Each structure stands twice: as structure tokens, then as C-alpha cells.
Amino acid sequence: MTLTPDVLERRLIDFGISACRELRRMPRDIVGTHVARQLVRSATSPAANYAEARASESHRDFVHKLQICLKELRETAVWLRLAQGLARRGGQPEPLERECRELIAVFAASVNTARSRSRDTTQ
């Protein structure tokens, strides 16, 4: 399957939804609530930021918004690991963590490509 902008945006939305559903497995104490709130913020942010990147006003703005998506995905990866530890699940990485790593790889490559294109146009 080709990763078009629409497909990527849909993956980000689905990822945010899945992360929100994961929160139902968190302990309902002060620590679980803290991790859940952080996770919901960081996991839902990339979809909105990517939508903003697609409507960016300049190439520089586009790169900056892609970097924000990448930053939020990296933060989400940490919160997911914390959530997994709190929920006391072991073994294989969860599909949500795998999807997060894949999205990080997509955005890291996208940022690098966008940066190199901006260097190409300034030379």
C-alpha cells in the first residue's frame, strides 16, 4: 500500500483512537491517571499537527510541523512503555507500540527528506 498523505493522516487518526482505547486498561489511581492524561495528549497530537503541516504556509513551516509530529510520537513511545509497565503486561511489544515505532520511522524519514529538499533549493 502506498503511503499517501491521506493514508498517513488516517493512520495517525487510527493511532490516536487506539491509544485512547488503551487508556481503559490503565490503573485508576493517581499514577495511572497521570500517565493516561499524558498519553492521550501526545498520541492524539500528531494527527492534528500533520493536518496543519499539510496546510502549511511555507516549506519551512511544513518541516517545522513535521518535526512537531515526530517529537510527539517519540514522547508517545515513552508513555506507551510506561503504560505497559503499569498495566503489568509483558512479552511481545503491543501492536500500538509497533505502530508508534513505524510512524516515528515515517516521520523521521519525511523530516530528513524535507530538509534535504530545502537545502537543494537554496544552493
pLDDT, residue 43, reads 97
pLDDT, residue 94, reads 84
pLDDT, residue 87, reads 76
> Which ranges in 4-94 belong to alpha helices (H)?
5-22, 30-54, 59-86
Q: Is residue 92 packed enough to be buried (19+ CB in 10 Å), middle (13-18) or exposed (0-12)? A: exposed
For residue 64, what are the contacts with CB-CB under 8 A and spacing of at least 6? none
Domains and CATH numbers, the chain: 5-122 (1.20.1440.60)
pLDDT, residue 85, reads 85
91 vs 4: CA distance, rounded Å: 33
Q: What does each of the 123 residues of the chain score in pLDDT, given as a tens digit?
A: 689 999 999 999 999 999 999 888 888 999 999 999 999 999 999 999 999 999 999 999 999 999 999 999 999 999 999 988 887 655 555 899 999 999 999 999 999 999 998 776 655
For 24, which DSSP code? G
pLDDT, residue 89, reads 59
Cell of 12: 495517525
